Amino acid sequence: MTATQTPPTDHPKTASDSAARRYATVNPFTGETEKEFDFTPTEAIDGIVGRAHSAFQEWRQRSVEDRAAVVRRAAELMDERIHDLAALTTKEMGKRTEEAVGELFLCSMILKYYADNGPAFLQPTPIQPLFGGGEALVETQPVGPLLAIEPWNYPYYQVVRVAGPNLVLGNTVILKHAEIVPQCAEAIEQLFTDAGAPEGVFTNTFLKISDVEQVIADPRIAGVTLTGSERAGSAVGALAGKHLKKSVLELGGSDPFIVLDAEDLGATVKAATTGRMQNTGQACIAAKRIIVPEAIYDDVVAGLQQAWSTFSPGDPTDPSTSLAPLSSEQAAKDLHAQIQDAVDKGATVLAGGNRPDLPGAFVEATLLADVTPDMRAYHEELFGPAAVVYKVKDEDEAIALANDTVYGLGATVMSSDLDKAKAVAERIEAGMVWINQPTGSSPELPFGGIKRSGYGRELSEMAMFEFANRRLLRTVPAKKADKPQAG
């Protein structure tokens, strides 16, 4: 952390979790509470963990092909139910229907990816012994039940990127989802049940936050993964360490979008707009800080202002709507407070900046400039339709600004000169850098960050090994077994 930085506040993805007194579907467009759910009783937790552990003993003994077939069937069921599942997302956290369907399409791809490739990923890796003859293999084995603590912003995607690889590997999963998407959580459990997963292989719970430690502390739980706030990640990581459990944390980011040149200004502006505004800006890998050289700054800003002006709030089920509500009224208030803090301290509003005079959890598509280190918007993640644009003198200043953050999740570099873009990307402190395309996600690409964005990787082959026993099997011919080995 530099001398100018201050620790960020809680990440909005899970801020609602810590304040919630119940699991409930509260439509962020209408503000109406449509359905409420009781918390899982504390006294029921032991039985839930017990069933997940018992299921693990049987599930791990199945062939990897059988486990993969269940995961593939879940993907097929997701395809069949895609519109009903998407409607739940829109109802519970306000995602536009088009984007909700797109999320489910990606989820199906992820499940199919692990169903198709997981068995090959789990093949033993041979090692040539340096002495003693025989053979050595590194085997990949499951470790047991996992607790997955997941956020609301991508209510299916966040879950399947944990469930896909781990169910194929042979682990079982207990889900504690965000309190504002309970029906999505139930629907995911039903998918795996209907796909043939035995009881306890994938279990949804409505856990209270105060009961999370009981689950992590249980000796039958092998690990915990969390996507959410820095504060929640710090707490869960500490608990995992206390109880000697493996953890994976994805804790958000303040991703830079670095423009090195703008030979195709339209493509650059489009990429920045897409990178920032997808999912109403409620994405940890969104392009939140747009960094532009002074020579082309005015042209890029003019293009961004034009693009930002096209976003119109409305019903997320209406195909003509370009700006959906945020996930909750509290999320809208929190984002607007960050914007107002910057404005009060002298930031320039290039677009938006207000809450429209409409019902629903809306904030205007906002573009800020002249943001300085004394403002919250400089250090904190803006989790919604708001971005900050910065003017820099050269590449060195752009890189220094990009790295002047406690986060390190993703980054984007835009340039017609690929060699220059790669050289800049090499100096960016992030878990993922994309060149000439906004940061995104695909099943085969590892996803994760560094610094206060967390640790560990999801997706790709790497995800198969986060919660695995990479066991050595060393076999020496009997006639040489009497030779002493060091260590």
Give 395-442 pLDDT, tens digit per residue: 999 999 999 999 999 999 999 999 999 999 999 999 999 999 999 999
Strand partners, 387: 367
Neighbours of 101 (CB within 10 A): 18
What local confidence, expressed as pLDDT, does residue 153 receive?
97
Mean pLDDT of all residues belonging to the chain: 94
What local confidence, expressed as pLDDT, does residue 208 receive?
96
- Examine the pLDDT at 483 and tell me if it is beyond 90: no
The mean per-residue pLDDT over the stretch 369-382 comes to 97
If you search the block for the tokens 């994938």, which residue do you land on?
202
Q: How much helix, strand and coil, in percent to the nearest 5, is found in the chain?
A: 40, 20, 40
Using DSSP, state whether 240 is helix, strand or coil.
helix
What local confidence, expressed as pLDDT, does residue 142 receive?
98
The mean per-residue pLDDT over the stretch 164-179 comes to 98
Query: How many whole angstroms separate alpha carbon 410 and alpha carbon 432?
Result: 5
What local confidence, expressed as pLDDT, does residue 22 receive?
87
* Catalytic residue check, 284: yes
- Examine the pLDDT at 87 and tell me if it is beyond 50: yes
What local confidence, expressed as pLDDT, does residue 14 receive?
44
What SS3 string covers 75-103?
HHHHHHCHHHHHHHHHHHHCCCHHHHHHH
- In terms of pLDDT, which residue wins out, 21 or 52? 52
Catalytic pick from 92, 107, 284, 458?
284
- Examine the pLDDT at 186 and tell me if it is beyond 50: yes
- 15-19, 304-308, 327-331, 451-455: segment of lowest average pLDDT: 15-19
Query: How many whole angstroms separate alpha carbon 18 and alpha carbon 448?
Result: 23
pLDDT tens-digit readout, 237-295: 999 999 999 999 999 899 999 999 989 999 999 999 999 999 999 999 999 999 999 99
What local confidence, expressed as pLDDT, does residue 31 receive?
96
- Examine the pLDDT at 234 and tell me if it is beyond 60: yes
- Examine the pLDDT at 6 and tell me if it is beyond 50: no
The mean per-residue pLDDT over the stretch 195-216 comes to 98
The mean per-residue pLDDT over the stretch 349-368 comes to 97
Query: Nearest CA to 453 among 281, 284, 250, 254?
Result: 250
What local confidence, expressed as pLDDT, does residue 479 receive?
75
Catalytic pick from 92, 250, 364, 380?
250
Q: Quickly state the pLDDT bin for 167 (edges 50, 70, 90).
A: very high
Query: Nearest CA to 446 among 250, 288, 180?
Result: 250
Strand partners, 454: 250
- Examine the pLDDT at 486 and tell me if it is beyond 90: no
Q: How far is CA 378 from the centre of its chain?
A: 22
Strand partners, 410: 432
Q: How far is CA 461 from the centre of its chain?
A: 17
- Examine the pLDDT at 4 and tell me if it is beyond 50: no
- Examine the pLDDT at 487 and tell me if it is beyond 90: no
Strand partners, 33: 26
What local confidence, expressed as pLDDT, does residue 262 receive?
87
Residue 82 has phi, psi (to 5 degrees) of -55, -40
Could you report how far apart the first and last alpha carbons of the chain are, in Å? Answer: 40
Which percentage of the chain shows pLDDT scores above 70? 94
The mean per-residue pLDDT over the stretch 120-149 comes to 97
- Examine the pLDDT at 10 and tell me if it is beyond 90: no
- Burial, 174: exposed, middle or buried (Cβ in 10 Å; 0-12, 13-18, 19+)? buried
Cβ distance 355 to 56 under 8 Å? Answer: no
**How is residue 361 written in tokens?**
């959890």
Cβ distance 5 to 404 under 8 Å? Answer: yes
